[in-house]
């Protein structure tokens, strides 16, 4: 599993920090980088992951390699982080790669695809299943090297003004939703909208939107969607394990001393695990508070889930037929997911089903 390899890297990094930091401080140059995040400071788990990463890099290099983190909009707009890294405006970025779906749908494999792998499976694919090599080969064309940057786990299906019981209830619905999910649901009658985080609540409040999906209860609570769209649906099948990434410009990466490169590797792994742990720890209480304050928890019907699944498969197969880069990752991704689902059905799923049935 990925945990083993990253713990090994982290252990090496920690040892270097404890034993060799003084030597590093004397022998290595002081380097100051800037990191542009796609997230506001108010979303402390998303934005905070980059701060955890930055602090750890500094510790592992004896304070010689310092990466200053900027929130979305402080240097560049939230959805232009990749462009900024690619252009050399900043040395690093922290973002959700599916934001760049419009450039190439292949970016989604570094984040989440509809009915894709869960958090553990996504991490296993990246670290042990060939995903890292496949994605880094794709990113070469953009002058970027990518690193694990956290995972939210399975996200919620969003906030709706009215109940969504059948496929007919989806038709004509204006919903802020990720680009890939929007493409899947458009043939079912949904009208997908793309809005940055800061613009979502005002649009929902004014009626410009009928529904919105964001992330998980802990983040959704902060944004107050329940006040105007009380029906809270699950699951967010388009983001069953949404992985974030740290981006580094390849030219800047190649300039770094090997010790500093190792620090980035170790710190990114540590930050990655911390994000998932934080969400798992904070979501239960946040969901309970939301329900207490008026949110009405609902689940998408089997009819809706089946229709969306069929539409997702059709959409992805069509993309693979015309996009060689997408197909090069899609095929091995599908095989790995199939094997993972078979394994999870043997031990993980039965155990969870039993425990969920307990009072």
Q: What is the pLDDT of residue 7?
A: 44
- Give the best-scoring range by mean pLDDT among 3-17, 204-218, 279-293: 279-293
Residue pair 101/107 in contact by the 8 Å Cβ criterion: yes
Domain that holds residue 254: 31-152+241-282
Q: Is residue 202 part of a domain?
A: no
- 150-169 pLDDT, tens digit each: 999 999 999 999 999 999 99
- 235-248 pLDDT, tens digit each: 999 999 999 999 99
Secondary structure of the chain in HEC code, one letter for each residue: CHHHHHHHHHHHHHHHHHHHHHHHHHHCCCEEEEEEECCCCCCHHHHHHHHHHHHHHHHHCCCCEEEEEECCCCCCCHHHHHHHHHHCCCCEEEECHHHHCCCCHHHHHHCCCCCCCCHHHHHHHHHHCCHHHHHHHHHHHHCEEEEEEEECCCCCCEEECCCCCCHHHCCCCEEECCHHHHHHHHHHCCEEECCCHHHHHHHHHHCCCCEECCCCHHHHHHHCHHHCCCEEEECCCCCCCCEEEEEEEHHHHHHCCHHHHHHHHHHHHHHHHHHHHHHHHHHHHHHHHHHHCCCEEEECCHHHHHHHHHHHHHHHHHHHHHCHHHHHHHHHHHHHHHHHHHHHHHCHHHHHHHHHCCC
Residue ranges for the known binding site are: 155, 176, 213-214, 239
Q: pTM of the predicted model, to two decimals?
A: 0.90
Q: Residue 104: which CATH number?
A: 3.40.190.170
Q: Is residue 183 part of a domain?
A: no
Q: Is residue 323 part of a domain?
A: no
Residue ranges for the known binding site for substrate are: 155, 176, 213, 239
Q: Is the pLDDT of residue 2 over 70?
A: no
Q: Is the pLDDT of residue 50 over 60?
A: yes
Q: Is residue 311 part of a domain?
A: no
Q: Is residue 215 part of a domain?
A: no
- 63-103 pLDDT, tens digit each: 999 999 999 999 999 999 999 999 999 999 999 999 999 99
Q: Is residue 269 part of a domain?
A: yes
The whole-angstrom separation of Cα 350 and Cα 324 is 38
Worst-scoring range by mean pLDDT, 23-27, 89-93, 231-235, 350-354? 23-27
Cis omega (within 30 of 0) for bond into 235: yes
Q: Is residue 319 part of a domain?
A: no
Number of domains the chain is built from: 1
Q: Is residue 230 part of a domain?
A: no
Residue ranges for the known binding site for Na(+) are: 214
- 301-319 pLDDT, tens digit each: 999 999 999 999 999 999 9
């Amino acid at each position: 599993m990925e945990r083993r390899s990253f713990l090994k890297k982290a252990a090496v990094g920690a040892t270097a920090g404890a034993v060799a930091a003084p030597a590093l401080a004397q022998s290595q140059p002081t380097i100051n980088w800037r990191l542009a995040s796609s997230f506001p400071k108010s979303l402390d788990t998303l934005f905070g992951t980059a701060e955890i990463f930055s602090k750890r890099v500094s510790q592992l290099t004896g304070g010689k390699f310092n990466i200053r983190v900027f929130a979305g909009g402080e240097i560049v707009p939230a959805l232009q982080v990749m462009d900024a890294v690619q252009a050399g405006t900043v040395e690093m970025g922290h973002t959700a790669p599916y934001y760049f779906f419009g450039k190439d749908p292949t970016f989604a494999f570094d984040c989440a695809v509809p009915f894709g792998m869960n958090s553990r499976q996504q991490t296993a694919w990246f670290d042990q299943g060939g995903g890292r090599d496949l994605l880094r080969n794709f990113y070469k064309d953009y002058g970027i090297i990518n690193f694990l940057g956290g995972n939210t786990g399975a996200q919620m299906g969003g906030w709706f003004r009215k109940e969504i019981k059948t496929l007919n209830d989806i038709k004509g619905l204006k919903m802020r939703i990720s680009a890939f999910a929007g493409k899947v649901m458009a043939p079912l009658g949904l009208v997908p909208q793309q809005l940055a985080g800061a613009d979502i609540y005002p649009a929902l409040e004014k009626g410009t939107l009928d529904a919105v999906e964001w992330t998980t209860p802990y983040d959704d609570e902060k944004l107050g969607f329940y006040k105007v769209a009380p029906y809270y649906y699950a699951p967010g099948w388009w983001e069953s394990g949404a992985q974030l990434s740290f981006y580094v410009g390849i030219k800047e990466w190649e300039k770094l001393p090997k010790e500093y490169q190792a620090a980035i590797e170790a710190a990114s792994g540590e930050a990655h695990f911390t994000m998932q742990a934080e969400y798992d720890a904070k979501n239960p209480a946040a969901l309970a508070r939301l329900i207490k304050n008026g949110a009405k928890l609902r689940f998408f019907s089997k009819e809706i889930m089946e229709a969306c699944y069929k539409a997702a498969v059709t959409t992805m197969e069509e993309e693979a037929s015309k996009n060689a880069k997408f197909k090069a990752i899609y095929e091995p991704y599908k095989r790995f997911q199939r094997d993972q689902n078979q394994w999870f059905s043997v031990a993980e799923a039965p155990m969870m089903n039993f425990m969920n049935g307990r009072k």
